[in-house]
Chain A
Amino acid sequence: MPMTVEQIEQFIKEAIPDATVEIEDLKGDGDHYSATVTSKSFSGKTRVEQHKMVYDAFNGKMGSDLHALKLKTVSE
Chain B
Amino acid sequence: MNNNDHVSQNIENEINSNDVMLFMKGTPVFPMCGFSARVVEILNKVGVKFGSVNVLESDEMREGIKIYSNWPTIPQLYVKKEFIGGCDIITEMFESGELLELFNTNGIDVNPS
A residues apposed to B, CB below 8 Å? 47-48, 51-52, 55, 58, 60, 62-63, 68, 70-72
Taking A63-B66, A68-B35 as contacts, is the C-beta distance between A47 and B92 under 8 angstroms?
yes
Least Cβ–Cβ distance between B80 and chain A, in angstroms: 15
Partner of B72 from A62, A70, A72 at Cβ < 8 Å: A62
- Work out how many contacts link A and B, with CB atoms closer than 8 A: 31
Q: Which of A51, A58, A62, A68 contacts B89 (CB 8 A)?
A: A51
Q: Which residues of A contact B73 (CB under 8 A)?
A: 55, 62-63
Q: Quick one: CB contact mask for B57-93 with A, threshold 8 Å, 1 for yes?
A: 0000000001000111100000000011111110011
